[in-house]
Structure 1
């Protein structure tokens, strides 16, 4: 196994860990909590959760140079879903698609193939995109954790690991 594959696999493992811990958090959400919004200028719990569980799918669309309408279609595909298990299943499926894409890349493409997001002036190489997806997921996982703490859930950092 090459060093490139080892790095890719470590990043994918970390992303999978994020997905699993997010699923634990999403499973705590009760029906009456979906409209919770910490402040007027912040997403509701429903909006945050929908955005978070679709990150692997939306970011994969961006990585694969899909246009803004495809991105919007993917992001809105679960807008009416509030069943935690269905949301977790969606995230698991989109993680698998992202993982399959990254694993399908040869070493040269993973390190050097540049793709450009529909909203960007310049492209990024695939390894950088994967790092971006990991940080994006963990950023919003922290927000979800804080929302649930504010809602009174008896959780601590151990639910994240």
Structure 2
């Protein structure tokens, strides 16, 4: 199995779980924050919906410069949130082609103008992008739990499914 094949398998599996989680987001809780330092539900879910497109960005570019225009998708309801996720997901999935394998050792830089935060091989950044999706999805799970909204299982049933607990 190539790295691209491995990433594609992981991407598909994590995408299915993220899709289930995003479908539970209540539109009347966009401003909800579990803590003053937390992102709002809207900010968190817009970022989460955008993360799959980072796979395509990493494969097709050599950097992300925060001083250049970049915005997460802006949504106003759960239907738009899921549509934004699907667009991002399809962009990321389309980039995971056999030809991308040859690019994985090339450097990719995260910067804000002259300030460089990191320069890593694209293979490491793709792994980080997948991990970010999992990380922010877990954050969303906390938000939903605190709002008493049933959480779908990620790697097996959740406490809200199938009389698990």
Class of the TM-score when normalised by the shorter of the 2 chains: 0.7 to 0.9
Structure 2: gaps (5+ residues): 159-165
Q: Does 1:47 align with 2:43?
A: yes
Alignment pair present for 1:31 and 2:24 = no
With normalisation by structure 1, the TM-score equals 0.78
Render the CA deviation track for 1:100-148: whole Å, top value 9, x for unaligned: 22316343322x2222222435522221121111101000010111110
Residue equivalent to 1:73: 70
Contact 2:53 / 2:89 at 8 angstroms: preserved in 1? yes
Number of aligned residues: 150
Say what the alpha-carbon RMSD is for the aligned residues.
Answer: 2.4
Q: Which has the higher helix share?
A: 1
Q: Contact 1:62–1:118 at 8 Å: present in 2 too? A: no
Partner residue in 1 for 2:110: 117
Query: Offset of 1:51 from its aligned partner?
Result: 1.1
**Structure 1 residue ranges without an equivalent (≥5):** none
Once residues 61 and 20 of structure 1 are traced to their aligned partners in structure 2, the CA distance between those partners, rounded to angstroms, is 21
TM-score normalised by L of structure 2: 0.77
Q: How does 1:1-161 map to 2 (within 5 A)?
A: 3-4=1-2, 7-58=3-54, 60-61=56-57, 64=61, 65-70=63-68, 72-75=69-72, 77-78=73-74, 81-103=75-97, 105-110=99-104, 112-119=105-112, 120=116, 122-155=118-151, 157=153, 158=157
CA distance in 1, matches of 2:151, 2:39: 21
Contact 2:44–2:140 (Cα < 8 Å) also in 1:
yes
Change (3 A) 1:59 1:40: farther
Q: Does structure 2 conserve the Cα–Cα contact (< 8 Å) formed by 1:34 and 1:45? A: yes
Report if the CA contact (8 A) 1:18-1:141 is conserved. no
Cα shift readout 1:14-69 (whole Å, capped 9, x = no counterpart): 22222222221222222221111101111111111111111123564466224324
Change (3 A) 1:108 1:28: closer
